[in-house]
Amino acid sequence: MSNPRTAWIVYIVLRLLFFAVPFAVLYAIGLTPWVAAVFAALIGVALSVIFLARSRSTASESIYEWRNRDRTADDIVEDEAVDAGASNGGASAADAPSPAPASRAESGATPAAEQRRNDS
pTM of the model: 0.52
3-state SS, one letter per residue, for 71-102: CCHHHHHHHHHHHHHHHCCCCCHHHCCCCCCC
Contact indicator for 88, 51 with CB cutoff of 8 Å: no
**CA torsion 21→34→44→7, rounded to 10°?**
80
Q: pLDDT (tens digit, 9 = 90+) per residue, 54-106? A: 888 888 888 888 777 777 778 788 888 998 888 776 555 555 555 555 555 55
Average pLDDT, the chain: 79
For the chain, the domains span: 4-69
Measure CA 68 to chain center: 14
Crossing angle of helices 53-67 and 4-28, in 10° steps, is 130
